[in-house]
Amino acid sequence: MVLTNQHNMGAASDPGAASDAARGVLEARGITKSFGDRLANDHVDLTVHRGEIRALLGENGAGKTTLISVLCGQYQPDGGLVTVHGRTLTLGSPRAALQAGIGVVHQDFRLVPRFTVTENVVLGTKAWGGPKDEDTVAAQASAAGFRLDPRAPAWALSVGELQQLAILKLLFRGLEILILDEPTAVLSPPQAAELFKSMRTLAAAGKSIIFITHRLREVGAVASEVTILRQGKVVADRAVAGLDAQQMSVLMIGSSDAGGRVETRPGAAGDVVLRLEAVTVEGRSVRALDDMHLEVRRGEIVGVAGISGNGQTALAEVAAGIIRPVSGRRESAAAAVAYIPEDRLNRGLVGAMSVTDNLALRRYTSRAMSHPLWIWTDRMTALARRLIDAFNIPVRKPSTRVADLSGGGLQRVLLARELSEQPDLIIAAQPTRGLDVASAAMVREQLVRHRDRGAGVMLISEDLDEVLELSDRVLVLFKGAVVGEYSRGKLNRAEIGLRMGGEGAA
Protein backbone atom coordinates (compact mmCIF):
# COMPACT_ATOMS: atom_id res chain seq x y z
CA MET A 1 0.00 0.00 0.00
CA VAL A 2 1.58 3.28 -1.17
CA LEU A 3 0.57 6.14 1.10
CA THR A 4 3.76 8.08 1.69
CA ASN A 5 6.46 9.55 -0.50
CA GLN A 6 9.07 11.74 1.13
CA HIS A 7 9.01 11.17 4.87
CA ASN A 8 7.62 7.61 4.96
CA MET A 9 7.00 8.21 8.66
CA GLY A 10 3.91 6.05 8.89
CA ALA A 11 5.14 2.78 7.42
CA ALA A 12 3.82 -0.34 9.10
CA SER A 13 7.38 -1.61 9.58
CA ASP A 14 8.34 1.38 11.72
CA PRO A 15 10.17 -0.08 14.75
CA GLY A 16 8.73 2.68 16.90
CA ALA A 17 5.17 1.60 16.21
CA ALA A 18 4.87 -0.41 19.41
CA SER A 19 6.06 2.45 21.59
CA ASP A 20 3.81 4.88 19.67
CA ALA A 21 0.83 2.67 20.46
CA ALA A 22 1.61 3.02 24.15
CA ARG A 23 2.44 6.70 24.38
CA GLY A 24 0.64 8.20 21.38
CA VAL A 25 2.01 9.42 18.08
CA LEU A 26 1.07 12.97 19.05
CA GLU A 27 0.81 14.23 22.61
CA ALA A 28 -0.10 17.74 23.72
CA ARG A 29 0.33 18.51 27.40
CA GLY A 30 -0.86 21.56 29.32
CA ILE A 31 -1.48 23.72 26.25
CA THR A 32 -2.45 27.23 27.36
CA LYS A 33 -3.17 30.13 25.04
CA SER A 34 -4.71 33.53 25.76
CA PHE A 35 -5.86 36.38 23.56
CA GLY A 36 -5.95 39.47 25.74
CA ASP A 37 -8.08 38.57 28.76
CA ARG A 38 -9.72 35.61 26.98
CA LEU A 39 -8.30 32.19 27.84
CA ALA A 40 -8.82 30.14 24.67
CA ASN A 41 -6.97 26.99 25.82
CA ASP A 42 -6.70 26.23 29.53
CA HIS A 43 -4.12 23.47 30.18
CA VAL A 44 -5.43 21.26 27.37
CA ASP A 45 -4.16 17.68 27.05
CA LEU A 46 -4.61 15.66 23.85
CA THR A 47 -3.25 12.26 22.84
CA VAL A 48 -3.64 10.72 19.39
CA HIS A 49 -2.49 7.17 18.74
CA ARG A 50 -1.27 5.50 15.58
CA GLY A 51 -4.14 4.44 13.29
CA GLU A 52 -6.73 6.31 15.37
CA ILE A 53 -9.57 8.54 14.19
CA ARG A 54 -10.18 11.02 17.01
CA ALA A 55 -13.10 13.44 16.90
CA LEU A 56 -12.58 16.91 18.37
CA LEU A 57 -15.82 18.53 19.52
CA GLY A 58 -16.78 21.78 21.16
CA GLU A 59 -19.00 24.80 20.80
CA ASN A 60 -17.84 27.85 18.88
CA GLY A 61 -15.28 29.54 21.09
CA ALA A 62 -14.52 26.33 23.02
CA GLY A 63 -10.89 26.37 21.87
CA LYS A 64 -10.80 23.86 19.00
CA THR A 65 -9.39 26.23 16.39
CA THR A 66 -6.79 27.57 18.82
CA LEU A 67 -5.64 24.07 19.74
CA ILE A 68 -5.34 23.02 16.10
CA SER A 69 -3.47 26.24 15.31
CA VAL A 70 -0.98 25.38 18.06
CA LEU A 71 -0.52 21.83 16.76
CA CYS A 72 0.15 22.96 13.19
CA GLY A 73 2.51 25.73 14.27
CA GLN A 74 0.38 28.77 13.48
CA TYR A 75 0.19 29.88 17.13
CA GLN A 76 2.86 29.99 19.80
CA PRO A 77 1.16 28.86 23.04
CA ASP A 78 1.71 30.60 26.36
CA GLY A 79 2.48 27.28 28.01
CA GLY A 80 2.63 23.54 27.44
CA LEU A 81 4.43 21.25 25.03
CA VAL A 82 3.72 18.99 22.06
CA THR A 83 5.60 15.80 21.24
CA VAL A 84 5.53 13.70 18.07
CA HIS A 85 6.97 10.19 18.45
CA GLY A 86 8.29 11.32 21.81
CA ARG A 87 10.27 14.21 20.35
CA THR A 88 9.39 17.72 21.50
CA LEU A 89 8.00 19.87 18.70
CA THR A 90 9.20 23.43 18.15
CA LEU A 91 5.99 25.37 18.77
CA GLY A 92 4.96 28.36 16.72
CA SER A 93 6.67 27.01 13.58
CA PRO A 94 4.54 25.71 10.67
CA ARG A 95 7.70 24.31 9.06
CA ALA A 96 8.52 22.29 12.19
CA ALA A 97 4.98 20.91 12.31
CA LEU A 98 5.16 19.80 8.67
CA GLN A 99 8.57 18.23 9.19
CA ALA A 100 7.15 16.34 12.17
CA GLY A 101 4.37 14.98 9.95
CA ILE A 102 1.39 17.16 10.94
CA GLY A 103 -0.89 18.53 8.21
CA VAL A 104 -4.28 20.24 8.06
CA VAL A 105 -7.06 20.13 5.47
CA HIS A 106 -8.93 23.39 5.91
CA GLN A 107 -12.58 24.00 5.02
CA ASP A 108 -11.40 26.10 2.08
CA PHE A 109 -9.21 23.64 0.23
CA ARG A 110 -6.54 26.15 -0.88
CA LEU A 111 -5.99 24.64 -4.32
CA VAL A 112 -5.08 26.20 -7.68
CA PRO A 113 -8.06 25.68 -10.03
CA ARG A 114 -6.08 25.75 -13.30
CA PHE A 115 -3.44 23.31 -12.04
CA THR A 116 -3.87 19.57 -12.56
CA VAL A 117 -4.32 17.15 -9.69
CA THR A 118 -0.62 16.28 -9.82
CA GLU A 119 0.49 19.92 -10.05
CA ASN A 120 -1.58 20.79 -6.99
CA VAL A 121 -0.21 17.81 -5.09
CA VAL A 122 3.47 18.59 -5.75
CA LEU A 123 3.12 22.36 -5.28
CA GLY A 124 5.57 23.44 -2.58
CA THR A 125 7.73 20.31 -2.86
CA LYS A 126 10.86 19.58 -4.89
CA ALA A 127 8.88 17.43 -7.32
CA TRP A 128 8.05 19.05 -10.67
CA GLY A 129 4.90 17.14 -11.66
CA GLY A 130 6.21 15.01 -14.50
CA PRO A 131 5.05 11.53 -15.58
CA LYS A 132 6.85 9.83 -12.67
CA ASP A 133 5.09 12.09 -10.18
CA GLU A 134 1.77 11.45 -11.94
CA ASP A 135 2.32 7.71 -11.44
CA THR A 136 3.13 8.25 -7.76
CA VAL A 137 0.06 10.44 -7.25
CA ALA A 138 -2.15 7.89 -9.04
CA ALA A 139 -0.82 5.07 -6.84
CA GLN A 140 -1.31 7.05 -3.62
CA ALA A 141 -4.81 8.08 -4.66
CA SER A 142 -5.77 4.48 -5.43
CA ALA A 143 -4.31 3.21 -2.15
CA ALA A 144 -6.34 5.78 -0.22
CA GLY A 145 -9.53 4.84 -2.07
CA PHE A 146 -9.63 8.09 -4.07
CA ARG A 147 -10.83 8.06 -7.68
CA LEU A 148 -8.74 10.93 -9.06
CA ASP A 149 -7.24 11.40 -12.52
CA PRO A 150 -3.74 12.82 -11.93
CA ARG A 151 -3.99 14.83 -15.17
CA ALA A 152 -7.42 16.36 -14.51
CA PRO A 153 -7.53 20.12 -13.79
CA ALA A 154 -8.77 21.03 -10.32
CA TRP A 155 -11.53 23.26 -11.73
CA ALA A 156 -13.14 20.20 -13.33
CA LEU A 157 -13.38 18.22 -10.07
CA SER A 158 -16.47 17.84 -7.92
CA VAL A 159 -16.37 19.18 -4.37
CA GLY A 160 -15.90 15.64 -3.06
CA GLU A 161 -12.92 15.14 -5.36
CA LEU A 162 -11.45 18.47 -4.27
CA GLN A 163 -11.65 17.21 -0.69
CA GLN A 164 -9.74 14.09 -1.74
CA LEU A 165 -7.15 16.20 -3.54
CA ALA A 166 -6.55 18.31 -0.43
CA ILE A 167 -5.94 15.14 1.60
CA LEU A 168 -3.73 13.70 -1.14
CA LYS A 169 -1.43 16.73 -0.86
CA LEU A 170 -0.71 15.72 2.74
CA LEU A 171 -0.17 12.06 1.86
CA PHE A 172 2.34 12.95 -0.87
CA ARG A 173 4.41 14.79 1.72
CA GLY A 174 4.49 11.70 3.91
CA LEU A 175 2.49 13.34 6.68
CA GLU A 176 1.04 10.87 9.13
CA ILE A 177 -1.05 13.09 11.44
CA LEU A 178 -3.96 14.48 9.42
CA ILE A 179 -6.24 17.18 10.84
CA LEU A 180 -9.55 17.46 8.94
CA ASP A 181 -11.49 20.65 9.73
CA GLU A 182 -15.23 20.16 9.15
CA PRO A 183 -14.51 17.91 6.12
CA THR A 184 -18.16 17.06 5.39
CA ALA A 185 -19.48 20.65 5.48
CA VAL A 186 -19.79 20.80 1.68
CA LEU A 187 -20.37 17.11 0.90
CA SER A 188 -23.53 15.23 0.01
CA PRO A 189 -24.39 12.15 2.12
CA PRO A 190 -22.92 9.72 -0.47
CA GLN A 191 -19.76 11.83 -0.69
CA ALA A 192 -19.48 11.95 3.10
CA ALA A 193 -19.83 8.16 3.21
CA GLU A 194 -17.01 7.87 0.65
CA LEU A 195 -14.84 10.18 2.75
CA PHE A 196 -15.45 8.09 5.88
CA LYS A 197 -14.48 4.96 3.94
CA SER A 198 -11.22 6.63 2.87
CA MET A 199 -10.55 7.80 6.43
CA ARG A 200 -10.86 4.22 7.67
CA THR A 201 -8.48 3.07 4.93
CA LEU A 202 -5.93 5.68 5.93
CA ALA A 203 -6.25 4.80 9.62
CA ALA A 204 -5.76 1.12 8.81
CA ALA A 205 -2.55 2.09 7.00
CA GLY A 206 -1.26 3.76 10.17
CA LYS A 207 -2.33 7.36 9.66
CA SER A 208 -3.67 9.23 12.69
CA ILE A 209 -6.64 11.51 12.04
CA ILE A 210 -8.10 14.37 14.08
CA PHE A 211 -11.63 14.94 12.85
CA ILE A 212 -13.32 18.26 13.69
CA THR A 213 -17.08 18.33 13.20
CA HIS A 214 -20.29 19.84 14.53
CA ARG A 215 -22.39 16.95 13.20
CA LEU A 216 -22.62 14.63 16.16
CA ARG A 217 -24.00 11.66 14.23
CA GLU A 218 -20.78 11.64 12.19
CA VAL A 219 -18.69 11.04 15.30
CA GLY A 220 -20.28 7.66 15.88
CA ALA A 221 -20.06 6.86 12.17
CA VAL A 222 -16.30 7.16 11.79
CA ALA A 223 -14.41 8.05 15.01
CA SER A 224 -13.16 5.63 17.66
CA GLU A 225 -12.20 8.26 20.26
CA VAL A 226 -13.49 11.73 21.10
CA THR A 227 -12.09 14.74 22.92
CA ILE A 228 -14.62 17.41 23.93
CA LEU A 229 -13.68 20.98 24.83
CA ARG A 230 -15.81 23.44 26.76
CA GLN A 231 -14.70 26.98 27.60
CA GLY A 232 -11.11 26.13 26.72
CA LYS A 233 -10.88 23.00 28.90
CA VAL A 234 -11.07 19.28 28.15
CA VAL A 235 -14.31 17.98 29.67
CA ALA A 236 -14.28 14.53 28.07
CA ASP A 237 -11.60 12.28 26.59
CA ARG A 238 -12.94 8.80 25.95
CA ALA A 239 -13.99 6.10 23.52
CA VAL A 240 -16.98 6.87 21.31
CA ALA A 241 -18.55 3.48 21.98
CA GLY A 242 -21.48 3.85 24.37
CA LEU A 243 -21.72 7.62 23.84
CA ASP A 244 -24.74 8.88 21.90
CA ALA A 245 -25.32 12.27 20.26
CA GLN A 246 -27.39 13.58 23.17
CA GLN A 247 -24.66 12.73 25.69
CA MET A 248 -22.03 14.42 23.51
CA SER A 249 -24.25 17.47 23.21
CA VAL A 250 -24.66 17.70 26.99
CA LEU A 251 -20.89 17.47 27.47
CA MET A 252 -20.31 20.22 24.91
CA ILE A 253 -22.90 22.59 26.33
CA GLY A 254 -22.61 21.70 30.01
CA SER A 255 -26.37 21.33 30.39
CA SER A 256 -29.04 18.69 29.83
CA ASP A 257 -30.96 21.41 27.98
CA ALA A 258 -28.48 21.18 25.11
CA GLY A 259 -31.12 20.28 22.56
CA GLY A 260 -29.94 20.34 18.98
CA ARG A 261 -33.00 18.84 17.37
CA VAL A 262 -36.00 21.13 17.01
CA GLU A 263 -39.42 19.60 17.40
CA THR A 264 -41.62 20.85 14.59
CA ARG A 265 -45.12 20.22 13.38
CA PRO A 266 -46.18 20.72 9.76
CA GLY A 267 -46.71 24.32 8.73
CA ALA A 268 -49.99 25.72 7.45
CA ALA A 269 -49.17 27.02 3.98
CA GLY A 270 -51.05 30.15 2.92
CA ASP A 271 -50.76 32.62 0.05
CA VAL A 272 -47.69 32.78 -2.17
CA VAL A 273 -45.19 35.30 -0.79
CA LEU A 274 -42.39 34.64 -3.32
CA ARG A 275 -42.51 33.34 -6.87
CA LEU A 276 -39.65 32.79 -9.31
CA GLU A 277 -40.66 32.11 -12.91
CA ALA A 278 -38.13 30.90 -15.49
CA VAL A 279 -35.32 32.71 -13.67
CA THR A 280 -31.86 32.48 -15.21
CA VAL A 281 -28.67 33.92 -13.71
CA GLU A 282 -25.33 33.79 -15.48
CA GLY A 283 -22.24 32.78 -13.52
CA ARG A 284 -18.57 33.25 -14.38
CA SER A 285 -18.34 30.30 -16.75
CA VAL A 286 -21.67 28.47 -16.47
CA ARG A 287 -25.22 29.40 -15.60
CA ALA A 288 -25.66 29.82 -11.87
CA LEU A 289 -29.44 29.37 -12.20
CA ASP A 290 -31.09 27.78 -15.21
CA ASP A 291 -34.83 28.32 -15.84
CA MET A 292 -35.64 28.27 -12.13
CA HIS A 293 -39.28 27.91 -11.06
CA LEU A 294 -40.33 27.90 -7.41
CA GLU A 295 -42.83 29.27 -4.92
CA VAL A 296 -42.67 30.01 -1.21
CA ARG A 297 -45.94 30.39 0.70
CA ARG A 298 -46.70 32.06 3.99
CA GLY A 299 -46.52 29.66 6.91
CA GLU A 300 -44.13 27.15 5.32
CA ILE A 301 -40.42 26.40 5.25
CA VAL A 302 -39.15 25.48 1.80
CA GLY A 303 -35.83 23.69 2.17
CA VAL A 304 -33.31 23.81 -0.68
CA ALA A 305 -30.85 20.91 -0.51
CA GLY A 306 -27.72 20.74 -2.61
CA ILE A 307 -23.95 20.44 -2.65
CA SER A 308 -21.98 23.67 -2.51
CA GLY A 309 -21.50 25.37 -5.87
CA ASN A 310 -24.78 24.39 -7.50
CA GLY A 311 -26.37 27.83 -7.58
CA GLN A 312 -27.25 28.37 -3.93
CA THR A 313 -25.68 31.83 -3.67
CA ALA A 314 -27.38 33.08 -6.83
CA LEU A 315 -30.72 31.65 -5.68
CA ALA A 316 -30.48 33.37 -2.30
CA GLU A 317 -29.56 36.72 -3.83
CA VAL A 318 -32.31 36.60 -6.47
CA ALA A 319 -34.90 35.51 -3.90
CA ALA A 320 -33.86 38.34 -1.56
CA GLY A 321 -33.93 40.88 -4.38
CA ILE A 322 -30.18 41.56 -4.16
CA ILE A 323 -29.51 40.78 -7.84
CA ARG A 324 -31.69 40.71 -10.94
CA PRO A 325 -31.93 37.68 -13.22
CA VAL A 326 -30.91 38.00 -16.86
CA SER A 327 -34.27 36.50 -17.75
CA GLY A 328 -37.41 35.41 -15.95
CA ARG A 329 -39.38 37.12 -13.20
CA ARG A 330 -39.27 37.48 -9.44
CA GLU A 331 -42.58 38.34 -7.77
CA SER A 332 -42.91 39.01 -4.04
CA ALA A 333 -45.88 39.94 -1.90
CA ALA A 334 -43.65 40.56 1.13
CA ALA A 335 -43.69 44.00 2.71
CA ALA A 336 -40.49 43.13 4.61
CA VAL A 337 -37.80 40.67 3.54
CA ALA A 338 -35.14 39.29 5.89
CA TYR A 339 -31.91 38.11 4.28
CA ILE A 340 -29.41 35.93 6.14
CA PRO A 341 -26.45 35.49 3.74
CA GLU A 342 -24.05 32.56 3.94
CA ASP A 343 -21.04 34.89 4.41
CA ARG A 344 -22.32 36.46 7.60
CA LEU A 345 -19.31 38.67 8.32
CA ASN A 346 -18.52 40.06 4.87
CA ARG A 347 -22.02 40.18 3.35
CA GLY A 348 -24.33 40.43 6.35
CA LEU A 349 -22.44 42.56 8.87
CA VAL A 350 -19.82 45.30 9.04
CA GLY A 351 -16.94 43.86 11.02
CA ALA A 352 -15.30 47.17 11.91
CA MET A 353 -18.54 48.56 13.36
CA SER A 354 -19.99 47.89 16.81
CA VAL A 355 -22.78 45.51 17.70
CA THR A 356 -25.00 48.56 18.26
CA ASP A 357 -24.32 49.97 14.79
CA ASN A 358 -24.88 46.61 13.09
CA LEU A 359 -28.17 46.04 14.89
CA ALA A 360 -29.37 49.49 13.81
CA LEU A 361 -28.38 49.21 10.14
CA ARG A 362 -31.97 48.67 8.98
CA ARG A 363 -33.31 51.48 11.18
CA TYR A 364 -30.91 54.41 10.80
CA THR A 365 -33.38 56.37 8.69
CA SER A 366 -36.47 55.60 10.77
CA ARG A 367 -38.07 58.36 12.83
CA ALA A 368 -37.53 56.27 15.95
CA MET A 369 -33.75 56.37 15.46
CA SER A 370 -32.97 59.62 13.67
CA HIS A 371 -33.76 63.27 13.09
CA PRO A 372 -32.96 65.03 9.79
CA LEU A 373 -29.91 66.54 11.50
CA TRP A 374 -28.75 63.79 13.88
CA ILE A 375 -29.07 60.20 15.06
CA TRP A 376 -30.51 59.27 18.47
CA THR A 377 -27.54 57.26 19.74
CA ASP A 378 -29.19 56.63 23.10
CA ARG A 379 -32.14 54.99 21.34
CA MET A 380 -29.79 52.88 19.24
CA THR A 381 -28.03 51.70 22.38
CA ALA A 382 -31.35 50.87 24.04
CA LEU A 383 -32.39 48.87 20.96
CA ALA A 384 -29.07 47.02 21.01
CA ARG A 385 -29.39 46.11 24.69
CA ARG A 386 -32.91 44.79 24.11
CA LEU A 387 -31.86 42.63 21.16
CA ILE A 388 -28.71 41.43 22.93
CA ASP A 389 -30.92 40.12 25.74
CA ALA A 390 -33.59 38.69 23.43
CA PHE A 391 -31.13 36.79 21.22
CA ASN A 392 -28.55 36.02 23.92
CA ILE A 393 -25.74 37.70 21.98
CA PRO A 394 -22.46 36.90 23.83
CA VAL A 395 -21.05 40.40 24.39
CA ARG A 396 -20.26 42.34 27.56
CA LYS A 397 -21.19 45.69 26.04
CA PRO A 398 -23.01 46.88 22.90
CA SER A 399 -19.94 48.81 21.76
CA THR A 400 -18.04 45.54 21.14
CA ARG A 401 -16.68 45.31 17.60
CA VAL A 402 -18.59 42.72 15.56
CA ALA A 403 -15.40 41.30 14.02
CA ASP A 404 -14.34 40.16 17.51
CA LEU A 405 -17.31 37.77 17.86
CA SER A 406 -17.32 34.02 17.20
CA GLY A 407 -19.38 32.53 14.38
CA GLY A 408 -22.29 31.89 16.72
CA GLY A 409 -22.17 35.46 18.01
CA LEU A 410 -22.09 36.86 14.48
CA GLN A 411 -25.14 34.84 13.51
CA ARG A 412 -27.06 35.97 16.58
CA VAL A 413 -26.40 39.62 15.70
CA LEU A 414 -27.53 39.00 12.13
CA LEU A 415 -30.69 37.17 13.19
CA ALA A 416 -31.53 39.83 15.77
CA ARG A 417 -31.34 42.57 13.16
CA GLU A 418 -33.15 40.72 10.38
CA LEU A 419 -35.91 38.99 12.35
CA SER A 420 -36.80 41.59 14.96
CA GLU A 421 -39.02 43.51 12.53
CA GLN A 422 -41.32 40.52 11.87
CA PRO A 423 -40.56 39.97 8.16
CA ASP A 424 -43.04 38.37 5.76
CA LEU A 425 -40.30 36.51 3.86
CA ILE A 426 -37.05 35.07 5.24
CA ILE A 427 -34.20 33.96 2.98
CA ALA A 428 -31.74 31.98 5.12
CA ALA A 429 -28.60 30.77 3.31
CA GLN A 430 -26.47 28.24 5.22
CA PRO A 431 -27.68 29.76 8.53
CA THR A 432 -26.08 27.14 10.80
CA ARG A 433 -22.84 26.47 8.91
CA GLY A 434 -19.94 26.31 11.36
CA LEU A 435 -22.14 26.84 14.41
CA ASP A 436 -22.09 24.78 17.59
CA VAL A 437 -25.08 22.76 18.74
CA ALA A 438 -26.63 25.46 20.93
CA SER A 439 -26.27 28.26 18.36
CA ALA A 440 -27.58 26.06 15.55
CA ALA A 441 -30.59 25.06 17.65
CA MET A 442 -31.35 28.72 18.34
CA VAL A 443 -31.26 29.53 14.61
CA ARG A 444 -33.60 26.65 13.78
CA GLU A 445 -36.01 27.58 16.55
CA GLN A 446 -36.17 31.15 15.24
CA LEU A 447 -36.96 29.99 11.70
CA VAL A 448 -39.73 27.69 12.93
CA ARG A 449 -41.16 30.37 15.21
CA HIS A 450 -41.41 32.87 12.37
CA ARG A 451 -42.93 30.26 10.08
CA ASP A 452 -45.55 29.53 12.72
CA ARG A 453 -46.51 33.21 12.93
CA GLY A 454 -47.07 33.23 9.15
CA ALA A 455 -43.79 34.15 7.47
CA GLY A 456 -42.59 32.30 4.40
CA VAL A 457 -39.11 30.82 4.85
CA MET A 458 -36.62 29.66 2.25
CA LEU A 459 -33.92 27.57 3.96
CA ILE A 460 -30.88 26.95 1.74
CA SER A 461 -28.59 24.45 3.44
CA GLU A 462 -25.95 21.87 2.62
CA ASP A 463 -26.86 20.02 5.84
CA LEU A 464 -29.39 17.48 4.61
CA ASP A 465 -30.41 16.45 8.12
CA GLU A 466 -31.28 20.07 8.87
CA VAL A 467 -33.32 20.42 5.69
CA LEU A 468 -35.27 17.23 6.38
CA GLU A 469 -35.87 18.21 10.01
CA LEU A 470 -37.29 21.67 9.37
CA SER A 471 -38.83 21.74 5.91
CA ASP A 472 -42.45 21.45 4.83
CA ARG A 473 -41.27 21.03 1.25
CA VAL A 474 -37.80 20.14 -0.06
CA LEU A 475 -36.32 21.19 -3.40
CA VAL A 476 -33.10 19.58 -4.63
CA LEU A 477 -30.72 21.90 -6.48
CA PHE A 478 -28.17 20.59 -8.98
CA LYS A 479 -26.28 22.70 -11.53
CA GLY A 480 -28.61 25.63 -11.00
CA ALA A 481 -31.83 23.72 -11.59
CA VAL A 482 -34.43 22.04 -9.40
CA VAL A 483 -34.07 18.30 -10.02
CA GLY A 484 -36.49 17.06 -7.37
CA GLU A 485 -39.31 18.23 -5.11
CA TYR A 486 -40.63 16.41 -2.05
CA SER A 487 -43.45 17.14 0.37
CA ARG A 488 -42.98 16.65 4.11
CA GLY A 489 -44.71 13.28 4.20
CA LYS A 490 -42.77 11.87 1.26
CA LEU A 491 -39.18 12.69 2.14
CA ASN A 492 -36.69 10.03 1.04
CA ARG A 493 -33.25 10.77 2.45
CA ALA A 494 -31.38 8.30 0.24
CA GLU A 495 -33.05 9.50 -2.95
CA ILE A 496 -32.53 13.16 -2.07
CA GLY A 497 -28.86 12.50 -1.32
CA LEU A 498 -28.38 10.87 -4.72
CA ARG A 499 -30.08 13.73 -6.53
CA MET A 500 -27.87 16.22 -4.72
CA GLY A 501 -24.97 14.52 -6.50
CA GLY A 502 -26.72 14.52 -9.88
CA GLU A 503 -27.78 10.87 -9.85
CA GLY A 504 -31.36 9.95 -10.68
CA ALA A 505 -32.07 13.55 -11.71
CA ALA A 506 -34.79 14.17 -14.22
pLDDT digits (tens, 9 = 90+) for 238-260: 999 989 888 888 888 776 555 55
CA nearest to 502, candidates 257, 323, 311 = 311
**Helix H or strand E segment including 450:** helix 437-452
| Distance between CA atoms of residues 335 and 351, nearest Å | 28
Tell me if 361 is assigned to some domain. Answer: yes
pLDDT at 505: 53
Higher-confidence residue: 485 or 490?
485
Amino acid, single-letter form, for residue 481: A
* Cα–Cα distance, 434 to 215 (Å, whole number): 10
Q: Which of 202, 218, 253 lies at the terminal end of a domain, its last residue?
A: 253
- Is 504's pLDDT higher than 80? no
Separation CA 207–CA 25 (nearest Å): 10
Within a domain: 442: yes
Spatial CA neighbour of 179 closest among 154, 197, 202, 150: 202
Q: Which residues pair with 271 in a beta bridge?
A: none
Q: Is 14 contained in some domain?
A: no
Same domain, 210 and 286: no
Let me know whether 246 and 279 are in one domain. Answer: no
- What is the extent of the structural domain holding 316? 272-500
- Quick one: 281 and 248 in the same domain? no
| 442 and 349 within one domain | yes
Clarify whether residues 229 and 302 are in a common domain: no
Angle between helices 245-253 and 437-452 (to 10 degrees): 100
Beginning with the edge strand found earlier in the chain, give each strand of the sheet holding 53-58 in spatial order: 102-105, 177-181, 208-212, 53-58, 225-230, 233-239
State how many domains the chain has: 2
In this structure, the number of other CB atoms found within 10 A of the CB of residue 78 comes to: 13
Domain boundary among 198, 220, 253: 253
CATH label of the domain that carries residue 441: 3.40.50.300
Indicate whether 474 and 348 sit together in one domain: yes
Q: Is residue 38 part of a domain?
A: no
Distances, alpha carbon 3 to alpha carbons 89, 143, 263, 455, in Å: 24, 7, 45, 53
In this structure, are 229 and 291 located in the same domain? no
Q: Give 101-156 pLDDT, tens digit per residue.
A: 999 998 778 899 999 999 999 998 888 888 999 999 999 999 888 889 999 999 88
Res 360: pLDDT: 87
B/e letters for 39-67, b = 16+ CB within 10 Å, e = fewer, are bbbbebebbbbbbbbbbbbbbbbbbbbbb
Q: Are residues 279 and 402 in the same domain?
A: yes
Domain shared by 208 and 129, yes or no: yes
